[in-house]
Amino acid sequence: MEWMPFYLFASVFVFLLAGYPVAFTLAGTALLFAGFGEMSGVFDPDFLEFLPSRLYGIMTNQILIAVPLFVFMGVMLERSKIAEDLLETMARLFGKKRGGLGFSVILVGMLLAASTGIVGATVVTMGLLSLPTMLKRGYDPHISTGMICASGTLGQIIPPSIVLVLLGDVLSSAYQQAQLDMGIFSPETLSVGDLFIGALIPGLMLVGLYLAYIAFIAFSKPDAMPAMDTSADEDSVPVLQAVLKSLLPPLLLIVAVLGSIIGGLATPTEAAAIGAVGAILLAATKKQLTLTNLREVMQSTTRVTSMVFMIFIGASLFSLVFRGYGGEELVQELLGDLAGGKYTALFVVMLVMFLLGFVLDFIEITFVVVPIVAPVLLAMDIDPIWLGIMIAINLQTSFLTPPFGFALFYLRGVAPVEIRTTQIYKGVMPFIVIQLVALGLIAYWPGIAVWLPGVLG
């Protein structure tokens, strides 16, 4: 019976693969195991009495209010045609140079990631807008698809990211629990703002590595990324004016959101409200703030938010039953007995999360896996900000990796029929290597993630 926690986890995994809804799978499987355990006398039903307080804590959590606000901001910006303007302007700015369109895709992907924070929306939008253009201009399909998938997943790590909001809340609870377990009764706190600040340098480093790779390919394989032929009409329009017109509004919004957090002027929730209002104003200036669009944005925001909170509730019930069976102690014992100490334990956890990223969404991994393993890792004196950034980039890499990466499925759904799935798989391989290099650099030099929060903190 000591392995019941893993039987519970395995059962959830099987039901998820069978296609059942995540939230109800978590809650239903946990209740089945709790009922079986109570009848057989191996589970204390008193653990379930903590559920009402858990649910009340979720519904009154100020940090989680940022989730619907950031989702609203991202969906509204997606409907505001901001990506079209950015891509067109960036293409004119870099288009005459070899690889110029590739630079544009990476930079626009970065700006969309910082604006929307939603991976699926960024990949689909960039796939619809930029892939046909790149193919028409003679770009290699492998490189084109790889760039779009890689730039789309930047929404995982570049703040304000929904991943970092949810991860920050879960890690905050795990960090306090780990300190209490170590006998520290005045625990330090971890905020979502800390993770946002910690993710800035790693996120920009990734963008820099992507751009360096694009530049290398542009000069080593000129035919794979030819320069664009711009017409005289396009040249007659002032490029600087077009750049300022399309680039300034989203940049100002990003600066307002992140600057208010970094400067200590607003909490992440308050900054999310600023972003939501800013997205509405931006849509209005682009004449996209119609009643139909507003209704669709509200409906989409409600669906995503409901999904997140239902998974959160199901995960709370799952974690109670998991702990009732002694799962936390079992995980602590298994990770603690590994040769090599905390670094081997961290490697094993990262590997498991990477593999789970093939079949589970980041929300499920954040709510189910992180609460189980994070307290154990943090009790081994691992920095919580560093751990959060490592998890985010690890999942970002997993979402790029064939054959199950989510970003690949998103692009496959909108790519032209002449683009083969194998071309998409081949195209993302160099970017996976770049991701792993970045992960290795952050693992070797934790200061990449923790230096800025230490300076600004």
The pLDDT tens digits for 296-333 are: 989 988 888 888 788 888 888 888 888 888 877 777 77
Q: Residue 416, preceding bond cis, omega within 30 degrees?
A: no
- Asked whether the beta carbons of 122 and 77 are under 8 A apart, the reply is no
Domain boundaries, position 423? 46-456
Q: How far apart are CA 217 and CA 212, in angstroms?
A: 9
Q: How far apart are CA 259 and CA 273, in angstroms?
A: 14
Residue 24 lies in a domain: no
Q: How far apart are CA 317 and CA 31, in angstroms?
A: 8
Residue 191 lies in a domain: yes
CB atoms < 10 A from the CB of 180, how many? Answer: 13
Predicted confidence at residue 120, as pLDDT, reads 66
Number of domains in the chain: 1
pLDDT at 46 over 80: yes
CB contact set of 235 (below 8 Å; sequence gap of 6+):
none
DSSP string, 160-176: S-HHHHHHHHHHHHHHH
Residue 13 lies in a domain: no
- Please choose, from the candidates 166, 156, 100, the residue with its C-alpha nearest in 3D space to the C-alpha of residue 410: 156
Cα 215 → chain centroid: 26
pLDDT in tens, 125-174: 778 777 887 888 788 888 889 998 888 888 788 887 778 888 888 898 88
Output 448 or 246, whichever has higher pLDDT: 448
Structure-token pair, residue 238: 């002032």
- Please choose, from the candidates 336, 332, 308, the residue with its C-alpha nearest in 3D space to the C-alpha of residue 322: 332
62 by Cβ neighbours in 10 Å (0-12 / 13-18 / 19+) ranks as exposed
Lowest-confidence region among 15-29, 73-87, 232-246, 270-284: 232-246
Confidence band for 387, pLDDT divided at 50, 70 and 90: very high
Predicted confidence at residue 233, as pLDDT, reads 45
Tokens 């200036």: give the residue.
285
Structure-token pair, residue 172: 């905050």
Q: How large is the angle between the packed helices 239-262 and 82-94, nearest 10 degrees?
A: 120
Predicted confidence at residue 211, as pLDDT, reads 92
Predicted confidence at residue 232, as pLDDT, reads 42
Residue 2 lies in a domain: no
Taking residues 281-304, report their average pLDDT. 87
Confidence band for 375, pLDDT divided at 50, 70 and 90: confident
Residue 382 lies in a domain: yes
Query: By 3-state DSSP, what share of the chain in percent is helix, strand and coil, each rounded to 5?
Result: 80, 0, 20
Residue 72 lies in a domain: yes
Residue 401 lies in a domain: yes
Residue 25 lies in a domain: no
